[in-house]
Structure 1
């Protein structure tokens, strides 16, 4: 590279280093450049580069390096319990010091470990002791309290000997028992017809809740229901759902109830502030509202934003609270005294006169609504805006939160602006009854009202909006409120105010019919009562039957009366003698077929009686093969033909067995005796073939008794008298023809009869052949004496009878068991 190229390269480097900023340039000489180069070289090549870099870094951060150096020099190592440095053996002093400190450290460490172990043991000892006390407390709670804890209570010993006929403990609580007594009285009053009309169950239950129930909230629920049910009585031909949605009675009842309750609240506030209220004059709503407003707006800050305030008396709160108390005339009087809003005053006077005034003054209504829509929506006085909304029944979307202090206030406001028609004037939306119900049930629902913790409040809101079915179904979900819900449903249904499904008891507890307006639902009262009564029907059947009587107008899924179906199920589950006497009474001493007394005899009706119920239960038991119990019911019902068939069926099963204590065969003797007495009176009411079959089976019952008691002569006489088995081969066809007229029950017993007869003949054959007779076996002597035959002739006669039995078994047009035929042939062969 020559000098010219070096110069050009230096110029290019110089141009690159030029900056755009207008700063003065520094021109260095050759000596200055040499000096800077040497300084840089000394910095790079000298030792201690790290120290220089550290000084440079700390200096750039503003650290005072000389002062830092002095502080580092003044620092000294602090004494600690760290491992000591080893010393040489020659340093005796250092060695002793080191050993002394090591001994101290070891003692400290050992002491720390001992303290930790002691604390751990104490902790677990306390935990185990606490667990032991808890276990002892639990065990003591299982064995019962100590006598010294309750000195005034006598210790009662539990008997270890059970009663012969123990009675189960009632499953009804005290509240349920009180309700059941009222239902029993109501049914007896209704059945006896005392007074000419049915008592009001809601009134009865409300008085009961006020006197007997300790919970004030339950009393409040009954009071709400009683007030809402105080409408014109209905008949069962009117649909309660449609009537409730089309008539304004329920809306008016709810408003009146809320207004009455608010008047009580106002009186309470006034009594607590008598000195401020300055109550006087005639005791009416006008003076009460004046005193209440004086108490409520006594402070100056409470008047902020209110319009038309005269002498610390705001006008619109006076008007609003008059309407809230249900007195439109008091509100009119306040407006007259103030001389404000003449159009509103004129319209309120027209409303006070009657409903037709509203329809005939549509122009005035339109002007007021336009004024409200244009001016009052942003009014600073919430009471004035609320008064206009109530009088004009408009603007349902404004919650009026400034004056809504409770659910009652909100509900009353909604009921006040509610319209029963569908008119829409000046495009101002109006609230309908079904719209209010949907708002409460669907829009807000259980979560908004905290229904799980405030079930009574949610029930009152639903009841005041005419949703009885949803309110009762909600109460019935919890075990505590279920008794109240059931009896509320019963009381409303007896007044024809409860909507029930039309399609029977198979519907769910709360169901919807397609033709019903939304959000109305129907309550399955039959299912609710059955679910409730099933809980105690086994321990308190009398009370359960009284509840089932309330279902007499319902039909089951198979078209039968629901009351009969429920009682039939009750008797099927428990059909002992006590239950039969409770329901049907006891048989008459003179006529065992007639029963007197019993709960069912208290229910007079044109559709059914106790005989019908007994026959219904007997049929169901017979279908379940419980023949013995079904016979009892058929006796009560007077169905002798069915009784005969069941007795014959049972006899066919046990007639050939030996009689044992407590067996079915032994119990049948009492039934047969009762049947014989009944046939003596009503034999013409029974089929002749059934009677013949029954009588023959009773003869066979006696035959087998003689057979098992070793009385062959008497046993054979029964067979001969009834022509059931042949005496000789010539009688086989006659006996077979006779069997064809018998029922299937006799055919079922025939194999056992043939075997028993063959065994008797064989025993006589053996006895005659061996030449020995006993005092009981006189059949052989009778045969020889009566016929004048010798011994050989008698043996031939017995062989002929045995052959006749074998031929009959082969001739009957029924399939005989193979073992029977085989046994008959074997015995016949043994006689040859």
Structure 2
């Protein structure tokens, strides 16, 4: 192509692209186009090629980038995870917005924590799993020593032999076994008529000698101190008696004072030089030594008012004497000082106790001293003097005496020292009662204050020292590690008539009666013991029955004479097998068919109800649950053969017509019938006539069906004829129907099968006789005899169909149809 043709084509393209517009035409030369291209390239390279490429890319995908940029600019760049700005209280809209955002942030933060913890757990679980696999592989890789490496070592192989009848593994731990032995020994002593021992002291000694746990030993020591009171009667309610008896307050104070004397001795023995211990080993000299150790530095005596002749503080001596429980030593210190004659006189009168007759003088003196205390000593700088007056006058319970009270024991002792009984209340309203102290410990402070979860023995001691045995034991029973001790504490207190129990054994573990003083509770001992013994009653049945024997005094509302019978009944109902029955009741005495010997229950022979009553009760429960086979065994043990025969008849009516198979109910009933027949021949029992007739008839019917199944039709027919169950001819139909009415309904239930079996026997004999007549070669006499036999068989068949239509029982349609069919075939 030459230049002329190229020019013409260019001109034609220009003409085709011309557009008629009002705008002027712009014509550029090649140099101008090149210059504009260079300027555009320089501008693009200055702003960056990335934006241009982004524009090109998004534009090719149909995205309007300028519009998107405008929308992005309108969005807030604020970080929502940053803390929110404070707002004014009146800005409701802003407040709600902040609350919403705070909620979202909290959810996000909690989700993050949960995810992190979950990932952490999975990580460690995977690590532990890998470690376990690694350890297993390392252990598997270990190879035993070769005999050649140790030629002098002789291997001794120990043969492993299992007993023929291994006993079940005991579920009792070491502590539980020790407790169970003491319970068994205690019950045996009671059954044999021996002296009833103090079970609390027995368990306290056991804990001290056998248990390697000082906390458990200390709990038993506390309980032993509190239970060391005058024995009570079962006719007296323990709750009301405990609230009115000052012995429990006295025992708690004695325990706390003894512990403090032990502490003071330890302090003085560790500082013998300063204590200057000497003289008679009594409380007076012990207090002197202890005070010397406590106030050996001068700055410790700041605020103390009086001193004695030796230059030592007076009121600490008196206070610590009272803290040790020695009022005589306190009186001696006060007498030597020659001060506070009124207080000395009052303390002397209190030391004399009930021997004094100057009641009115004592009351007047207390009133004067209380007035002085309220006017002067409330703001006294000597904490020991103020505490001594508060203890002697039993007043000002709201003063915490923070300078002296450093432990829970100090607090309890102070509260117990200022207690006043209900009947001794006077005009002073600031008095603390026993119930008030109990409410303070149990309700106001409670478990959280004493950190009971981590310091369970401490909380138990506080409750026990304030006479709240039931709440203390219930608290221990919640923890699996202390429930064993809680159960035996409850048992020991109940045997001493010190445990408050509810009137009904169906109450919760801890409950309260309407007339009980607040905040006292009642502990359901039956529920606690059953909860404890249920864990091992199958493996350690003998020990479980020993625990149930302790419940014999609790009456039940719905079943059994007492709680013991109810518990043993539940045990037998749930585990009614031959081994358990033999363990509980023993084996039948061959010399005496009226008794069983060798059972666990035979040990409790002093009870008002014997094992035969228990067997009858368990049999009734099993019969109500339709466990008839087990109920028959229990009725047999109880000697209630009438009930046993009724159940045997009910079961026989279901299976008497069936074929005997190994392990079937019919085979088991065969052994039961044999055992019943022997018992009926040896025991003298009252069995109703219709029950005995029904049982004998069903027994014969069992033999009848056995003979039928064996093909002994002649012997089977003799059994039916002897018992008059089915007629031999039409004249005997009414007689057989009358006999059925004297029997039980069980005979009527099996009658269709009996009639059907009898018809089959008649038809088989008919076929046999008919087949002999068709063979021929017989004389006329034999033929006449055979015809007579056939007529007799037709009469028997007719009588059976008539009886089926006459009995007051609707025969099954299939039986009636089959009877008519066989009768027709015999015509």
Same fold (TM over 0.5): yes
User: Does structure 1 retain, via aligned residues, the 8 Å contact 2:242–2:467?
Assistant: yes
1:332 is matched with 331
SS at 1:666 equivalent: helix
SS at 1:313 equivalent: coil
1:275 is matched with 273
Give the TM-score taking structure 2 as reference length.
Answer: 0.80
SS at 1:586 equivalent: strand
2:67 is matched with none
User: Does structure 2 retain, via aligned residues, the 8 Å contact 1:729–1:804?
Assistant: yes
5 Å-filtered alignment, 1:791-810, equals 791-810=786-805
Q: CA deviation at 1:143?
A: 10
Distance in 1 between residues matched to 2:224 and 2:774, nearest whole Å = 92
User: Does structure 2 retain, via aligned residues, the 8 Å contact 1:319–1:330?
Assistant: yes
1:93 is matched with none
5 Å-filtered alignment, 1:793-832, equals 793-832=788-827
Structure 2 vs 1, CA of residues 133 and 150 (structure 1 numbering), >3 Å: closer, same or farther?
farther
1:494 is matched with 495
SS at 1:790 equivalent: helix
User: Does structure 1 retain, via aligned residues, the 8 Å contact 2:641–2:685?
Assistant: no
User: Does structure 2 retain, via aligned residues, the 8 Å contact 1:244–1:250?
Assistant: yes
Which of residues 261, 282, 285 is equivalent to 1:284? 282
1:568 aligns to 2:546 (yes or no) = no
1:439-498 alpha-carbon deviations (Å, 9 max, x no partner): 111111111111111110011011101111111111111111101111000000000011
Q: CA deviation at 1:187?
A: 0.5
Structure 2 vs 1, CA of residues 538 and 812 (structure 1 numbering), >3 Å: closer, same or farther?
same
2:415 is matched with 414
5 Å-filtered alignment, 1:463-474, equals 463-474=464-475
5 Å-filtered alignment, 1:759-770, equals 759-770=760-771
5 Å-filtered alignment, 1:592-611, equals 592-605=593-606, 607-611=608-612
5 Å-filtered alignment, 1:688-707, equals 688-707=689-708
1:648 is matched with 649
1:509 is matched with 509
Distance in 2 between residues matched to 1:691 and 1:183, nearest whole Å = 47
Distance in 1 between residues matched to 2:141 and 2:499, nearest whole Å = 53
User: Does structure 1 retain, via aligned residues, the 8 Å contact 2:593–2:682?
Assistant: no
User: Does structure 2 retain, via aligned residues, the 8 Å contact 1:351–1:358?
Assistant: no
Structure 2 vs 1, CA of residues 824 and 414 (structure 1 numbering), >3 Å: closer, same or farther?
same
User: Does structure 2 retain, via aligned residues, the 8 Å contact 1:470–1:521?
Assistant: yes
Which of residues 224, 227, 243 is equivalent to 2:225? 227
Structure 2 vs 1, CA of residues 429 and 130 (structure 1 numbering), >3 Å: closer, same or farther?
closer
Structure 2 vs 1, CA of residues 243 and 386 (structure 1 numbering), >3 Å: closer, same or farther?
same
SS at 2:255 equivalent: helix
2:175 is matched with 175
Q: CA deviation at 1:333?
A: 1.0
Consecutive aligned runs of 4 or more in structure 1 exceeding 6 Å deviation: 83-86, 127-132, 140-151, 154-159, 161-164
Distance in 2 between residues matched to 1:156 and 1:206, nearest whole Å = 45
Q: Over aligned residue pairs, what C-alpha RMSD do you find?
A: 3.0
Deviates more, 1:799-808 or 1:667-676: 667-676
Structure 2 vs 1, CA of residues 453 and 542 (structure 1 numbering), >3 Å: closer, same or farther?
same
SS at 2:422 equivalent: coil
1:112 is matched with none
2:618 is matched with 617
1:134 aligns to 2:128 (yes or no) = yes
Distance in 2 between residues matched to 1:651 and 1:704, nearest whole Å = 12
1:633-662 alpha-carbon deviations (Å, 9 max, x no partner): 111111111111111112111111111112
Structure 2 vs 1, CA of residues 354 and 163 (structure 1 numbering), >3 Å: closer, same or farther?
closer
5 Å-filtered alignment, 1:431-580, equals 431-502=432-503, 504-558=504-558, 560=560, 561-580=562-581
Distance in 2 between residues matched to 1:491 and 1:149, nearest whole Å = 56
2:351 is matched with 352
Distance in 2 between residues matched to 1:485 and 1:614, nearest whole Å = 32
SS at 1:685 equivalent: coil
1:669-721 alpha-carbon deviations (Å, 9 max, x no partner): 22111111122234662212211111111111111011000111111111111
Q: CA deviation at 1:186?
A: 0.7
Deviates more, 1:166-175 or 1:182-191: 166-175
Distance in 1 between residues matched to 2:202 and 2:774, nearest whole Å = 85
User: Does structure 2 retain, via aligned residues, the 8 Å contact 1:640–1:686?
Assistant: yes
Structure 2 vs 1, CA of residues 270 and 771 (structure 1 numbering), >3 Å: closer, same or farther?
same
Q: CA deviation at 1:360?
A: 3.1
Which of residues 304, 307, 310 is equivalent to 2:305? 307
Structure 2 vs 1, CA of residues 426 and 192 (structure 1 numbering), >3 Å: closer, same or farther?
closer
Structure 2 vs 1, CA of residues 321 and 536 (structure 1 numbering), >3 Å: closer, same or farther?
same
1:250 aligns to 2:242 (yes or no) = no
Q: CA deviation at 1:614?
A: 0.6
Distance in 1 between residues matched to 2:818 and 2:744, nearest whole Å = 25
SS at 1:596 equivalent: strand
User: Does structure 2 retain, via aligned residues, the 8 Å contact 1:202–1:491?
Assistant: yes
SS at 2:296 equivalent: coil
Residue segments in structure 2 that go unaligned for 5+ positions in a row: 1-44, 49-120, 146-154
Distance in 1 between residues matched to 2:683 and 2:587, nearest whole Å = 20
5 Å-filtered alignment, 1:353-372, equals 353-355=352-354, 356=356, 357=358, 359-372=360-373
Q: CA deviation at 1:791?
A: 2.2
Residue segments in structure 1 that go unaligned for 5+ positions in a row: 1-82, 87-126, 775-783
Q: CA deviation at 1:349?
A: 1.3
Distance in 2 between residues matched to 1:351 and 1:247, nearest whole Å = 19
| Structure showing greater Rg | 1
SS at 2:518 equivalent: coil
Distance in 2 between residues matched to 1:321 and 1:145, nearest whole Å = 64
Distance in 2 between residues matched to 1:501 and 1:368, nearest whole Å = 45
Structure 2 vs 1, CA of residues 605 and 143 (structure 1 numbering), >3 Å: closer, same or farther?
farther
Structure 2 vs 1, CA of residues 438 and 359 (structure 1 numbering), >3 Å: closer, same or farther?
farther
1:265 aligns to 2:260 (yes or no) = no
Distance in 1 between residues matched to 2:272 and 2:413, nearest whole Å = 27
Distance in 2 between residues matched to 1:478 and 1:457, nearest whole Å = 14
Distance in 2 between residues matched to 1:201 and 1:770, nearest whole Å = 89
Give the TM-score taking structure 1 as reference length.
Answer: 0.79
User: Does structure 2 retain, via aligned residues, the 8 Å contact 1:319–1:334?
Assistant: yes
Distance in 2 between residues matched to 1:303 and 1:817, nearest whole Å = 109
Q: CA deviation at 1:176?
A: 1.2
